[in-house]
């Protein structure tokens, strides 16, 4: 009979919210980043290992989707309401894209790291995701 190890439950919404706040998903107190997007190896408050995270390309993708929806909706509404010249659109929307992207990216990455932590993905559960490699078949 196989014994299943029961680990304490991790609250997904709380972990995601802590990540959005750029705080440790485990305790919600320690800083998640040591630089703009560089994740700390350990939480300075509780010591939780954070180096397991594998956010990779997901945060920029989600950030682009969110920013594009907001900006395109704004462009369309402004164009329908006032039909301003192109320079007005450029003056408003180019800085908006840059500011929104730079503000949103670390928060989205934090939320994804919180989700990974809560779901015990990528080593956050104490085990590797990948099973050990199989021995090559003997001929």
70-98 confidence digits (pLDDT tens): 999 999 999 999 999 999 999 999 999 99
For residue 53, pLDDT beyond 80? yes
Position 8 scores a pLDDT of: 84
- For all residues of the chain together, what is the average pLDDT? 91
Domain of residue 83: give its range.
16-118
Tell me whether residue 97 is in a domain. Answer: yes
Tell me whether residue 10 is in a domain. Answer: no
75 closest CA partner among 98, 97, 104, 100? 97
Looking at residues 19-43, what average pLDDT do you find? 97
Three-state secondary structure readout of 24-88: CCCCCCCECECCCCCECCECCCCCCECCCCCCCCHHHHHHHHHHHHHHHHHHHHHHHHHCCCHHH
For residue 128, pLDDT beyond 80? no
Tell me whether residue 93 is in a domain. Answer: yes
Number of separate domains in the chain: 1
113 closest CA partner among 28, 47, 7? 28
Tell me whether residue 77 is in a domain. Answer: yes
Q: Answer yes or no: pTM beyond 0.75.
A: yes
Tell me whether residue 138 is in a domain. Answer: no
Tell me whether residue 70 is in a domain. Answer: yes
């Amino acid at each position: 009979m196989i014994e299943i190890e029961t680990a304490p439950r991790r609250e997904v919404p709380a972990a995601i919210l802590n990540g959005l706040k750029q705080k440790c998903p485990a305790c919600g107190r320690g800083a998640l980043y040591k630089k703009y997007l560089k994740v700390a190896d350990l939480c300075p408050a509780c010591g939780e290992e954070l180096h397991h995270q594998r956010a990779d390309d997901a945060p920029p993708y989600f950030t682009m989707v969110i920013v594009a929806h907001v900006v395109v909706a704004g462009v369309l509404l402004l164009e329908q309401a006032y039909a301003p010249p192109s320079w007005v659109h450029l003056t408003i929307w180019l800085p908006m894209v840059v500011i929104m992207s730079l503000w949103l990216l670390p928060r989205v990455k934090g939320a994804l790291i919180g989700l990974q932590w809560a779901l015990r993905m990528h080593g956050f559960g104490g085990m590797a995701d990948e099973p050990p490699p199989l021995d090559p078949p003997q001929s």
